[in-house]
Amino acid sequence: MPRNSTRLTFAVLATGAGVFAMLQSLIAPALPTVQHALHTSQSTVTWVMTAYLLSASIFTPILGRVGDLIGKKRTLVAVLVTVAVGCLLAALAPSIGVLIVARVVQGVGGALFPLSFGIIRDEFAASEVSRSISNLSAVIAAGGGVGIVAAGPIVSALDYRWLFWIPVAVVAVATLIAVRYVPESPNRAEGSVNWLGAGLLSAWLVALLLPLSQAAVWGWGSARVLGLFALAVVLFALWLYSEARSRTPLIDLRVMRLPAVWTTNTVALLFGAGMYALWSFLPGFVQTPTTAGYGFGASVTAAGLLMLPMLVAMFLSGVLGGRLEPVFGAKTLLVTGAALGAAAVGLLALWHDEQWQVALVSGLFGLGIGLAFASMANLIVGSVPADQTGAATGMNANIRTIGGSIGAAVTSVLVTGHLQPSGLPYESGYTHGFTLLALLLLAASLAALLVPVRRAVRQVIVDTPAPRETAATRG
């Protein structure tokens, strides 16, 4: 086996990023099982998701920047080891407190996304970069779908702890292969980590995401929610000031202001709002008992199977996107992907009486996800200097997550704002929620029209040295 093989490198990157994406959604359908097994409350068990979200939001851009500075392979291996340790701790967790800590540790794996994109840019031949990024984006998108589909069968056949035992084994093997075969990237950024900027970034992200994720429990008008939102605004302003004055900013704001970057990030915010919210609420819709006047009374496993067309479609369209991007351009694919998502969710709001209708809409939405993920990653990577790849792609992933938190929080208000005497939501709550998500995705498609064409992107980075092509980069 060659010492430096781009195929083997890609396999390692896809395995790590795919497992992390799967961990995002794998535990959600099993939360009631975890609550019962660990003898905790519903409000407490939600922290299994919240802790993971906050941790990933903090570590994704920070460790992406660390990889730019000290070496992407070195950082990648450290992150993979950390994810494996977090999964092992979760599999053995004797209490809900330990499980929450384990999820914080797993959240470090968010850095796998920017590190993987950076390694591809540095190590692969220029002709392979776009297609490889599209393929990796397809794996990341599909990973979230795999989590939703696989959770039910794993819990039913084994135990919820196997949701973590399986990733332990997979990540451990990927780590060993990475140590031996993934080359260290030659491109390094100058300077050091701006720890003040890192601290302020972490603080405003927590202050923003925490009330969004807990507002349903604390109350939107509560002092905690309003106070944290106000604190997030103040901390965000301080972070911008700190980064603007720093000689070695954590996130170079000049890069964030590039037309291709800020427009793509805007699309990421809106698209993330629609995508993550649909992932959160569609399984609940199909699991609603038919006595509510809608829904199918599906089990967790059956609900996952209805999402299977989405999983298959997002992977295939993501891979196809890499082949189409040289022909049509990343901008066209991004507009198309967001438009397909808007059409799918709009149809769902009107057309959800039969299971085959939900499955069909799910597949259409998957096509949009695959195209959008692949094109967003390519636009960011192709727009920034090589030594900013990790930080820039990390922030793009973060912005998508922030959008998802906002979308899920607002949809939750619409769905659960008025409940039937049985405690179940009214059908109108879901239809209003799906309509909102369709509008957000339509806005994402319109925002994608503002993205500069590829020629303009290349002019922005014309002075940036291209990655060296060596025997290693040619695989």
Question: Do the Cβ atoms of 437 and 277 come closer than 8 Å?
Answer: yes
- What domains, with CATH codes, occur in the chain? 6-193+248-460 (1.20.1250.20), 194-247 (no CATH)
Vertex 57 angle, CA 54 and 63, to 5°: 125
Instruction: Give Cα separations from 64 to 79, 109, 192, 193 (angstroms).
Output: 11, 11, 13, 11
**240, 373, 49, 178 alpha-carbon torsion, rounded to 10°:** -90
List, for residues 221-252, the tens digit of each pLDDT value: 899 999 999 999 999 999 999 988 888 887 88
Tell me how far apart the alpha carbons of residues 9 and 171 are, in angstroms, rounded to a whole number.
14
| H-only helix segments in 93-194 | 96-106, 112-123, 126-157, 162-181
Closest CA to 277 of 140, 396, 144, 128: 144
Q: Rounded to the nearest 5°, which phi and psi values hold at 419? A: -115, 150
Condensed to tens digits (0 to 9), the pLDDT of residues 328-361 reads: 999 999 999 999 999 999 999 999 999 999 999 9
Indicate if the pLDDT at residue 139 is higher than 80.
Answer: yes
Give residue 176's region: left, alpha or beta (phi > 0; psi -120 to 50). Answer: alpha
Amino acid at 329: G
Residue 258 near residue 458, CB atoms below 8 Å: no
Q: 4: pLDDT confidence band, cut at 50, 70 and 90?
A: low
For residue 130, name the pLDDT band (cuts at 50, 70, 90).
Answer: confident
Tokens of 314: 């997002």
Question: How many CA atoms lie less than 13 Å away from 61 in the CB half-sphere?
Answer: 26
Residue type, 429: G
Between 4 and 143, the more confident residue is: 143
Q: How far is CA 362 from the centre of its chain?
A: 18
Range of weakest confidence among 28-32, 95-99, 124-128: 28-32
**pLDDT tens digits along 33-75:** 888 899 988 778 888 888 888 888 888 888 888 888 888 999 9
pLDDT of residue 464: 42
Q: Are 48 and 34 in contact (CB under 8 A)?
A: yes
Write down the pLDDT at residue 325: 87
**pLDDT for position 454:** 59
Q: How confident is the model at residue 461, as a pLDDT?
A: 40
pLDDT over 90 percentage in the chain: 40
Query: SS3 of 420, please?
Result: coil
To the nearest 10°, report the CA torsion of 428, 431, 434, 435: -100
